[in-house]
Structure 1
Amino acid sequence: MKTRDRLELIEKECKIRNNLKQIQFTHYFSNQFMERYTQFFCIEEFLEAAGVTNQASLDSLPMENWERQVQLATTFSSWQEMLDKAGEEYLMENYY
């Protein structure tokens, strides 16, 4: 990939990440993404398996428990890696 193309890709991904709050979580982690990389059909099932049923339970979940859930139930070694891949795929599916 040419440097210019790579820079454009990075710029678009940064724009998406800056506007992440505007992207529905279920769109960012599509069912196709979840089926491909996790043991779950959808992000809601993944959250439920981690014990997340509402914003309060998400906020109180220790990060080490969240990381463990990612490691046990996905092909990723960390939450950051999962976020990065979801961002890449969202970018490719929606902006190219």
Structure 2
Amino acid sequence: MDDFSRLDEMANRVHNFEGEHEISFADALTDSFMQKNTTFPNVSSFFDAIGIKTTDEFDAFPDEKLNSFVSSHSNFSTFQQMLDKATDEYITRQLGF
């Protein structure tokens, strides 16, 4: 593939990715991301370790306690920082960069 075809393909991916998208924790917090950035092999074991089994439990879980856990078991200070980095990597993968 020549450089111009590659640029056209990238431009199409960016165009198709515009707007709002919902990204699941599993899609963003891949096994590879978790292994590289946390002490856990995957997102399931991360949430199991902190005692979160459902979306309702996650929503009710105190931010301070979650951030403390993230700080102790990852390369991030807060869950939001971890999720932002994972989302950035997800978008990069989807766009083919």
Do they superpose with TM above 0.5? yes
The percentage of aligned residue pairs carrying the same residue is 28
Which residue number corresponds to residue 21 of structure 2? Answer: 19
Displacement after TM superposition at 1:63 (Å): 0.8
Displacement after TM superposition at 1:66 (Å): 0.6
Paired residues in the alignment total 83
Displacement after TM superposition at 1:90 (Å): 0.5
Which residue number corresponds to residue 77 of structure 1? Answer: 77
* TM superposition outliers: structure 1 runs of 4+ over 2 Å: none
Displacement after TM superposition at 1:15 (Å): 4.6
Structure 1 window deviating more from structure 2 (52-61 vs 70-79): it is: 52-61
RMSD over aligned CA atoms reads 2.3
Where do residues 1-80 of structure 1 align in structure 2 (5 Å cutoff)?
15=18, 18-20=20-22, 23-80=23-80
SS in 2 for 1:48: helix
Q: Which has the bigger relative contact order, CA under 8 A and spacing at least 6?
A: 2
Which residue number corresponds to residue 4 of structure 1? Answer: none
- List alignment gaps of at least 5 residues for structure 1: 1-7
Displacement after TM superposition at 1:67 (Å): 0.5
Displacement after TM superposition at 1:33 (Å): 0.3
Residues 3-53 of structure 1 deviation map (CA, whole Å, 9 limit, x = unaligned): xxxxx9xx88x957x312xx3321111000000000011111111111101
